[in-house]
Amino acid sequence: METKSWSASLEHGGYAENKDLVIEHSIVAVEETSEGTSVNLVTPNEFGNPETYLKEILEERFGESIHVKYIDQCGCGGYVLRVYK
């Protein structure tokens, strides 16, 4: 369990080719984040803004126990979605 805010890098290697893997590991990252902290989900450029494919899935899964906020596109090309727990 992550007890402080952290980042999950989900943008390189197999992630860039597999949206389902990005979604699956994003869910795991949120599950591993302690209440009162956040996780930055860094997602691949290939799938575009994660608000369009990831935000709703996380909100359906975790309900009101999370708050999801799009941060920005990274200089490296990926995108950052912050999930507060």
Residue-wise pLDDT for 16-58, tens only, equals 999 999 999 999 999 999 999 999 999 999 999 999 999 999 9
Q: What is the pTM of this model?
A: 0.94
Spatial neighbors of 51 by CB under 8 A, at least 6 apart, are 70, 81
Nearest to 22, CA basis, from 84, 77, 60, 78:
78
pLDDT of residue 76: 75
Q: Residue 59 belongs to what H/E stretch?
A: helix 55-62
Alpha carbon distance 19, 16 (integer Å): 7
Ordered domains of the chain (ranges, CATH): 6-84 (3.30.110)
